[in-house]
Structure 1
Amino acid sequence: MFGERTATGCVGTLGFIAPEMLAGEEYNAGVDWFSFGVIIKEMITVTSGYNRTQAKIPVDVAKDIINKLLCNNPSQRLGVNGNIRQHQFFVHIDWVSLEALRVAPPHVPGPPTIRTSSGVFNIDHIEREEARRSPIRAEDQELFAGFSYISPKWRTFP
């Protein structure tokens, strides 16, 4: 949604949904900036399950971007109001090289694994094995074409 376009309805993952969407109000692209703020907050405050080199982000810079993204007033939310790329949080990013796909990712995850007392197991391998043992034959899968399920608890929001 660009410009002054708005939408209604409630979609998304609880915990990431902007207040105006939960309130059933019309909303604009600011809802995505709010969700982005939640993601940044989680990335900074939650310990990851894998080791990686972490950027040293000053606490005041992290707090500032999170506060500006999680602003309750959608028209004042960073991204809607101001160029997010110019925020100090992104000072180290070369946007031209990034958009030209000339920047190597800072972390390339390996296959997902699970550690148990018996060793380390590749989860992708386990899931593929489970799929092979599925009681539903491949030719029967088309019976589910177009099927979707929405839990009744997700049909309405407070």
Structure 2
Amino acid sequence: MLDVNGHVRLADMGMCRMDLNPQNPASTFCGTPDYIAPEIIKGLKYNQCVDWWSFGVLLYEMVVGQSPFNGCDEDELFWCICNEQAYYPRFLAKETKAVLVLLLEKDPQKRLGTPGCSAGDIIDQPFFKSINWDRLDRKDIEPPFKPKVRHILDVQYFDSAFTIEKPQLTPVDKDILASMDQTQFRGFSYTNPNTTD
């Protein structure tokens, strides 16, 4: 997403859990199928390395134009994520391929973004060498595109197929929700206040 001045904002409208670290890993199976890291699919404990995997999938899609892993259905997609290597087209610059390979590393202990990654920190990768991170953080770099918004709720850049839809809540039946084990969501920054511990 872009803010009103054209600065990039990564956004995830899904669930969020704070304070993930090696001493406080998660094990909840959640995420958008194409972006789920292998350790989540395998039911292993995980930490913020899953976000770097998702970033790798997103970056791959941006530079290649398609997803790195595909399947006819969710089971086949998950099998590919866990067992196949992404295809890297010949047109990719070596720095681009290198950062993608590091982000799409199936072993979370070796994945770029892990504190002990032998390739170093993400901002030190050759792919990002032209970025002045301090200026970027201060928003001192002029974005190449600045959206022309009429007001704060302007949605002209969104596909009209989505903006003409009527908002519709899809509440879950209270009896169904009450029958489901909610303990797997303990520790999330927001949980349904209507469920009991």
Give the structure with the higher percent strand. 1
State the TM-score bracket (shorter-chain normalisation): 0.5 to 0.7
Instruction: Confirm or deny that 1:26 pairs with 2:45.
Output: yes
Which residue of structure 2 lines up, in the alignment, with residue 138 of structure 1? none
Structure 1 residue 59: deviation in Å? 1.4
Paired with 1:105 and 1:12, the residues of 2 have a C-alpha distance of 30
**Which letter does structure 1 place at the counterpart of 2:171?**
F
From 61, 83, 96, the counterpart of 2:95:
61
Which residue of structure 2 lines up, in the alignment, with residue 107 of structure 1? 145
Structure 1 residue 2: deviation in Å? 5.1
Instruction: Confirm or deny that 1:16 pairs with 2:16.
Output: no
Which residue of structure 2 lines up, in the alignment, with residue 51 of structure 1? none
Instruction: Confirm or deny that 1:127 pairs with 2:151.
Output: no
Instruction: Confirm or deny that 1:75 pairs with 2:109.
Output: yes
Paired with 1:113 and 1:2, the residues of 2 have a C-alpha distance of 33
Structure 1 residue 127: deviation in Å? 2.8
Paired with 2:107 and 2:56, the residues of 1 have a C-alpha distance of 14
Cα contact 2:20–2:26 (8 A) shared by 1: no
- 1:58/1:88 Cα in 2 relative to 1: closer, same or farther (>3 Å)? farther
Structure 1 residue 95: deviation in Å? 0.5
Structure 1 residue 28: deviation in Å? 1.2
**Pair member with larger Rg:** 1
Structure 1 residue 10: deviation in Å? 1.4
Cα contact 2:39–2:45 (8 A) shared by 1: yes
Report the identity percentage.
32
Residues 129-151 of structure 1, C-alpha deviations (whole Å, 9 max, x = no match): x54xx8xxxxxx8xx5x9359xx
- 1:147/1:100 Cα in 2 relative to 1: closer, same or farther (>3 Å)? same
Which residue of structure 2 lines up, in the alignment, with residue 94 of structure 1? 132
Paired with 1:2 and 1:86, the residues of 2 have a C-alpha distance of 23
Q: Compare relative contact order (CA 8 Å, sep 6+) and give the higher one, 1 or 2.
A: 2
RMSD of Structure 2 on Structure 1 (CA)? 3.0
Give the structure with the higher percent helix. 1
Structure 1 residue 11: deviation in Å? 1.4
Q: TM-score, normalised by structure 1?
A: 0.64
**Which letter does structure 1 place at the counterpart of 2:131?**
I
Q: 1:132-151 alignment to 2 at 5 Å?
A: 147=171
